[in-house]
Amino acid sequence: MNDASHPQRQHHHQQRQTNATHANKMTPTQSHEDLVAQLVRHSPAAAIGTAAMNPNTIAKTPSQAEFEQFFQDVTEFEKMLVRSGIILLKYWFSISDEEQQMRFQMRIHDPMKQWKLSEMDLQSRIRWEQYTKAKEEMFERTSIPEAPWYIVQGNDKRRERLNCMAHILANVPYTEVEQKKVTLPERLFDPDYERQTLPDELYVPKVF
């Protein structure tokens, strides 16, 4: 196993800045060109060593003409990014129907997790097959040699996130950082020091 595929090793990507970005939610009056313009603004800067991550994009429901135009434009746009020297990695985190069902049920019944459950999540249960068909069409029409899609099977969150990180490391040039040996120094003891007892009101009450 080489270093690039080992998630427990530390790596240096020679990057000076990483930005996580979200494209703004589109209004009914905006077109797919507005979405592309947002993606251009969030693309990595020309300086070597910058990175940008766009976790998701929420767009309005397009017309059929806009839908077809977007599919024509998106692959050309991605090819342009790659030609300019950008490393473009596209990941789709996929979970099974049963796993999604279980997670949503946990959110419904756990008050600490209910905030995670959105109206879009509820709709995704109703439209599971529609979303799956749309995903399959997206893969077919936008997975190109210059910028293929990579599917991360995410039922096991921790393991699959590590797999994704390892895959990114394998596809992004980096140099390994030399790790200096760290030695814990001995604690100094003062034989004349006696630790004081602090008043109870300084402490946070133990509710749990």
SS (H, E, C) the chain: CCHHHCCCCCCECCCCEEEECCECCCCCCCCHHHHHHHHHHCCCCCCCCEEEECCCECCCCCCHHHHHHHHHHHHHHHHHHHHCCCCCCEEEEECCHHHHHHHHHHHHHCCCCHHHCCHHHHHHHHCHHHHHHHHHHHHHHHCECCECEEEEECCCHHHHHHHHHHHHHHHCCCECCCCCCCCCCCCCCCCCCCCCCCCHHHCCCCCC
* Mean pLDDT, residues 112-138 taken together: 89
* Mean pLDDT, residues 179-199 taken together: 92
Where is average pLDDT lowest: 19-28, 143-152, 154-163? 19-28
Mean pLDDT over each residue of the chain, to the nearest integer = 80
* Mean pLDDT, residues 165-187 taken together: 91
Q: Decide if domain 3-176 falls under CATH 3.40.190.10.
A: no
- pLDDT: is 26 or 117 the higher one? 117
Q: Is the pLDDT of residue 170 over 90?
A: yes
Q: Is the pLDDT of residue 9 over 70?
A: no
* Mean pLDDT, residues 30-37 taken together: 63
Domain borders along the chain are: 3-176
Which pLDDT does position 146 carry in this prediction? 95
Share of the chain above pLDDT 70, in %: 71
Which pLDDT does position 7 carry in this prediction? 39
* Mean pLDDT, residues 108-137 taken together: 90
Which pLDDT does position 137 carry in this prediction? 94
How far apart are alpha carbons 125 and 88 in whole angstroms? 30
Q: Is the pLDDT of residue 16 over 80?
A: no
pLDDT band at residue 177 under the 50/70/90 scheme: confident
